[in-house]
Structure 1
Amino acid sequence: MPEPKRILIIGAGLAGASAAAALRENGFDGAVTVLGAEAHPPYELPPLSKKILLGEADEPDWVRDAGFWREHDVDLRSGTSASRIELGSKAVLDARGERHEYDRLLLATGSHPRTLPVPGVDLPGVYTLRTLDDALALRSAFSGSPRVVVIGTGWIGTEAAAAARHHGADVTMADLLPGPLWALGPEISRVFADLHTEHGVRWKLGSGIERVTGGPGGVTGVRLADGTELPADVVLVAVGAAPRVGLAHAAGLELSDEGGVAVDAALRTSAPDVYAAGDIAAQFHPRYGRRVRVEHWANAKNQGTHVAANLAGGHEQYTRRPYFFTDQYDLGCEYRGLADPGSDELVVRGDLAKREFTAFWLREGRVMAAMNVNMWDDGDALQALVDGDAQVTPQQLREGDLASLG
């Protein structure tokens, strides 16, 4: 198969922009075009719910500096959405009607915030958090000590709650689940629940949302299914994200039961010369022997960088394990791997109460995931344990030299 001369990327988020940058940095000298719906240059998402929402910065971390795209002859079309993919003719139409032909195509369309199918979610004062503009608007809304209700207790919800308390807001978190970050299991959930409670967050858990109340002047509260009324001046809906697969579906690409676009280990879709990376990529992961779709920063960055070589003619499998991090108040943590807390064995090294510990999830004597909380000396050892599939015992993890176990 001849080497490509025209590579087209749909999506100017971290995955798409990282791929474009890596193409040039790896020496690809053909045409590189990136279609991005947002008006802003490509940026990374983690600062939105962290330093920008806290007021520590007004700009995100840009994927590359302002001059990079021009200097490296990347045709970055900010504010340009793709409207249709024509697989047969190998072309993409954008929303302005312009036609873009390609030899290889990368889909990196990312995710959009899920909403709630209840009345009132379109009222003024109801927010989601996904873009730079979202973060700046929400930060402004947090000023003046408003009453804030955060619907959803996952990573975005808990980080936003911490930021709202930093600004002096009165914060209540509401969720049908019994605790924050419940996907990590009840023991770890309790750590984060206690952390937020100590910082003044109130909880209303175990009940669904019936409606958001208010009128043309703005939101006034949240009514729960159990009849509770939570007064609110600001409501953040943080109930997860959904992959943007509309273009792929309309083009006839294979989608995955796990959500997202089905890709093989090398990030190739079901269509020749079409790849997917980042949030939308449901990859057959060679380390797990099944499809995995990950919506975190490191996955978008690393898959984007990796797929660039394959777009240029390579066939390398993507084998990295998932990674993410969070910062909330005085707690920082990193998570490596992919566990099932419902069935994997939890092993804790350190002190949960002091919030200085490493949590391991074991399956048949192998470390599926490791999460270090306010402990920063063992990162390489933890990565080796997650990557190495070594047989270990709970006692070794609690008391042994971690560097010698991987």
Structure 2
Amino acid sequence: MGFITTGSPIQVFVLVLCLPWQVSKTLEEFDVEEQPSSVLEEKFPNLTVVQSAVKALNTHTHTVQTVDGRTFGYEKLCICSGGRPKLLTQGNPYVLGIRDTDSAQEFQKRLSKAKRIVVVGNGGIALELVYEVEGCEVIWAVKDKAIGNTFFDAGAAQFLIPSLEADKPEGATPCKRHRFFSALLYFPGSALGPDWHEGIVLRGAEEVSHRVSVEYQCEVDSIYTHQELLKSPQQTLVSEGAGSWPVYVKLTNGKTFGCDFIVSATGVVPNTEPFLHGNNFALADDGGLRVDDHMMTSEPDVYAAGDVCTACWEHSPLWQQMRLWTQARQMGWYAGRCIAAHVLSEPIELDFCFELFSHITKFFSYKVVLLGKFNGQGLGPDHELLVRCTKGQEYIKVILSGGRMMGAVLIGETDLEETFENLILNQMDLTPYGEELLNPNIDIEDYFD
């Protein structure tokens, strides 16, 4: 039995899960420690960690070839190779993608000498990066009307914006490390969790503490070196990036910025190479390996979990796939159970974690909980929103459809995640409560306990 996933090209490390604690029925928080792979090998004698990249997979002969010339046979195989960054451009030395631990270390190295960087993207990595970087001016280019469009609506974005304009609070509680994987074969670079910046110094060469400028509704039009810009018709657009910079970015809003380097944080695509060559995997529209409700691909005895796969079973009305660390962990855990059940010829039902979408993380030092159809995904125009916002403390949004709670966004220490999770799962008719549902003078947690 084998697992193919990601890891370090120099020394193999594994992320060891400490005891988790249950936040609610579907939400967990836990600490993860990075330790040498020998720790797991000593604890589990049947586990072998192989430090090598995969060269080829032959599903007909049930073998995996590695670049160091070895061949491994398998009875069951699970592909957990994650996603790879969608870089703005390939091969440009001034464009850096942040996806794994190796690229995060390279980012730290470059940032230490930088006075200005341009960050392109509006997902989780970009949100964390622009908040954590100090000692460097940050130009943040987002294609949407508001920041964090993947996770929030415009109201939540406005709640968070003041955090970009203010100094970070002293002694802010670090985000817990929420990463987990097990492996037999490795690709370079272990995947990042939401706290990828913990343990590394994200400080530039300037004395400024925190300075972020957001450019909305724009994307990268072109990238020039200083010499290329001087020779191009765009040289008159350098006004926004006065001075001499290693690289310049022209945005689709017409502005051009000079900077030391560009961070491409524009999402990922399923990392299916080199598994497709010579095999007959069915792929989803997003390029992921199609898996059924037992995490099985179209090739016999081959399973997949995490960002590399696409869930192609009929989803619960309250769940959707998003390529997040929470779902990668859930899929990996469930895939392992499915493999064991199939080897033992035992039946297995779809895990409860796929009943309700749930995600807990931290942005801008605020705890963030997303539940169900948190942005009204697929609900149509007839759903209703209830919002409660206390500046600098909390932002709460509830999505109702037909009087029943279908999703929620909780930012801050609201202590409402368990109550709202139960209301979503129970599909209780909340019509009689109306806007009182978010009345701050009513202890809703005790009311629906």
Tell me which interval the TM-score lies in, with the shorter structure as reference length: 0.7 to 0.9
How does 1:63-78 map onto structure 2 within 5 Å? 67-73=39-45, 74-78=47-51
**Mapped partners of 1:335, 1:236: distance in 2:** 26
Which letter maps to 1:154? G
- 346 and 214 in structure 1: CA distance in 2 versus 1, 3 angstrom threshold: farther
- 348 and 373 in structure 1: CA distance in 2 versus 1, 3 angstrom threshold: farther
Partner of 2:200: none
Whether 2:56 is the aligned partner of 1:84: answer: yes
Partner of 1:147: 116
Which letter maps to 1:231? G
- 385 and 276 in structure 1: CA distance in 2 versus 1, 3 angstrom threshold: farther
How does 1:5-404 map onto structure 2 within 5 Å? 7-12=1-6, 39-43=11-15, 61-62=33-34, 67-73=39-45, 74-78=47-51, 80-117=52-89, 122-143=91-112, 146-164=115-133, 167-183=134-150, 184-198=152-166, 200-214=211-225, 219-250=246-277, 251-284=279-312, 287-288=315-316, 292-313=320-341, 314=346, 315-320=348-353, 321-341=356-376, 343=380, 345=383, 347-351=385-389, 353-393=391-431, 394-395=434-435, 397-399=437-439, 401-402=444-445
- 267 and 387 in structure 1: CA distance in 2 versus 1, 3 angstrom threshold: farther
Task: Report the alpha carbon displacement of residue 262 of structure 1 after superposing the two structures with TM.
Answer: 1.2
Gaps of 5+ in 1: 1-6, 14-35, 45-58
**Mapped partners of 1:240, 1:294: distance in 2:** 11
Length-normalised TM-score, structure 1: 0.77
Gaps of 5+ in 2: 17-30, 168-210, 228-243
Which letter maps to 1:308? G
- 8 Å CA contact 2:320, 2:357 repeated in 1: no
**Mapped partners of 2:272, 2:40: distance in 1:** 29
Task: Report the alpha carbon displacement of residue 150 of structure 1 after superposing the two structures with TM.
Answer: 0.6
**Mapped partners of 1:81, 1:244: distance in 2:** 13
Length-normalised TM-score, structure 2: 0.71
| Percent of residue pairs identical | 18
Larger Rg belongs to: 2
- 8 Å CA contact 1:286, 1:319 repeated in 2: no
**Mapped partners of 1:389, 1:244: distance in 2:** 37
**Mapped partners of 1:371, 1:61: distance in 2:** 29
Which letter maps to 1:243? P
- 8 Å CA contact 2:13, 2:37 repeated in 1: no
- 8 Å CA contact 1:267, 1:317 repeated in 2: no
Deviations 1:378-400 (A, max 9, x none): 23223323433333345253136
- 391 and 249 in structure 1: CA distance in 2 versus 1, 3 angstrom threshold: farther
Which letter maps to 2:223? V
Q: Which moved more, 1:173-182 or 1:211-220?
A: 211-220
Task: Report the alpha carbon displacement of residue 133 of structure 1 after superposing the two structures with TM.
Answer: 1.7
Which letter maps to 1:245? T
**Mapped partners of 1:259, 1:365: distance in 2:** 37
**Mapped partners of 2:10, 2:301: distance in 1:** 26
Deviations 1:204-238 (A, max 9, x none): 12222122232699843211133311121132111
Higher relative contact order (CA 8 A, sep 6+): 2
Deviations 1:318-348 (A, max 9, x none): 3313333343443221223344446474634
Per the alignment, in what secondary structure is the counterpart of residue 34 of structure 2? coil
Task: Report the alpha carbon displacement of residue 201 of structure 1 after superposing the two structures with TM.
Answer: 1.6
- 276 and 403 in structure 1: CA distance in 2 versus 1, 3 angstrom threshold: farther
Task: Report the alpha carbon displacement of residue 376 of structure 1 after superposing the two structures with TM.
Answer: 4.4
- 235 and 352 in structure 1: CA distance in 2 versus 1, 3 angstrom threshold: farther
Per the alignment, in what secondary structure is the counterpart of residue 62 of structure 1? strand
Deviations 1:272-315 (A, max 9, x none): 22211111221245552699433111111122122212111253
**Mapped partners of 1:91, 1:396: distance in 2:** 60
**Mapped partners of 1:322, 1:290: distance in 2:** 6
Task: Report the alpha carbon displacement of residue 405 of structure 1 after superposing the two structures with TM.
Answer: 4.6
Q: Which moved more, 1:93-102 or 1:281-290?
A: 281-290
